[in-house]
Amino acid sequence: MGLLQGKVTIITGASRGLGKALAGRFACEGSSVVLAGRSYNLLKDVCREIHPPDGEAYPVRMDVTDPGSVNAAIHEIVERYGKIDVLINNAGIPMVSPSEDLAYENWKNTIDTNLTGVFLCSQAVAKQMMDRKTAGCIINISSTFGLSPVPQRAAYCSSKAAVDMLTKVLAAEWADKKIRVNAIAPGYLKTEFIGQLEQQGKLDIESLKKRIPQRRIGHPDEITGLAVYMAGDEATYLTGAVVYIDGGWTAYGFT
């Protein structure tokens, strides 16, 4: 028996990277997984790669910045499954720019995706959980950069710091509705997210590794077990937590 047998989990931004790894792991644990995102064909391909022992992997179109798109997707999922147990707000974009040159559109797109998207999805899913009076769990994928201020990341760091606060507010507000809200704050992970920044010359991986006590970049598969724990029945007293999983990055005292 998997740890998430019979559950229905939505993962935003599941076409690649951490979202894809989370979808695969949750499926292995017995959950039906709904892979939500903008690239529908990619999502369909990922669903074909996932072979849930129980339940299914199902792709849904969703742009987390668009309230109409979010609500339509959640409606479709509830129609199909009759419930939602777990939401993982994973979709996110990086933004690196000197703050004096950061274009308004880039600031807005980062906040809309990384923060407003988390709020819109949480609100839509929580309403469904409340209507059905079912217990539920929301996991927000934050970042160590929500805690550590990093030059040229004004929009990204601000968005993730706000996600941490949103996590705590919603956890306090919805505790009596039996909805738990927690955040996972990863350090650097091997995904396209940092691959693109490296290619653009905006990230020097070798010097980064020197700042990480474990001297290495993490792998998405090293994050999924914590998410399974958070979503599972052993974490019933865990809410409002932001858990860092970063090879020691936030613990390290030197710059």
Residues forming the active site: 156
- Residue 117 Cβ, how far from ligand NDP at the closest point, in Å? 6
DSSP conformation class of 85: -
Binds ligand NDP by CB under 6 A, chosen from 4, 8, 11, 15: 15
- 88 in Cβ contact with 141 (< 8 Å): yes
- Stretch binding ligand NDP (CB under 6 A), from 26-34, 62-70, 147-155, 231-239: 62-70
Q: Which of 17, 52, 55, 232 is close enough to bind ligand NDP by CB under 6 A?
A: 17
3-state DSSP percent of the chain in helix, strand and coil, to 5: 45, 15, 35
3-class SS of residue 144? helix
CA-nearest of 20, 17, 43 to 188 is 17
In angstroms, the CA 173 to CA 156 distance is: 25
**Footprint (CB under 6 A) of ligand NDP, residues 181-220:** 186, 188-189, 191-194
Residue with tokens 């999924």: 224
Instruction: Please give the backbone phi and psi of residue 200, each rounded to the nearest 5 degrees, phi first.
Output: -80, 0
Choice from 7, 58, 63, 162 touching ligand NDP (CB under 6 A): 63
Q: Show the site string, 147-186: x = touches ligand NDP by CB under 6 A, - = not.
A: ---------------------------------------x
Which residues are near ligand NDP by CB under 6 A?
Answer: 12-13, 15-19, 37-39, 62-65, 90-93, 113, 141, 143, 186, 188-189, 191-194
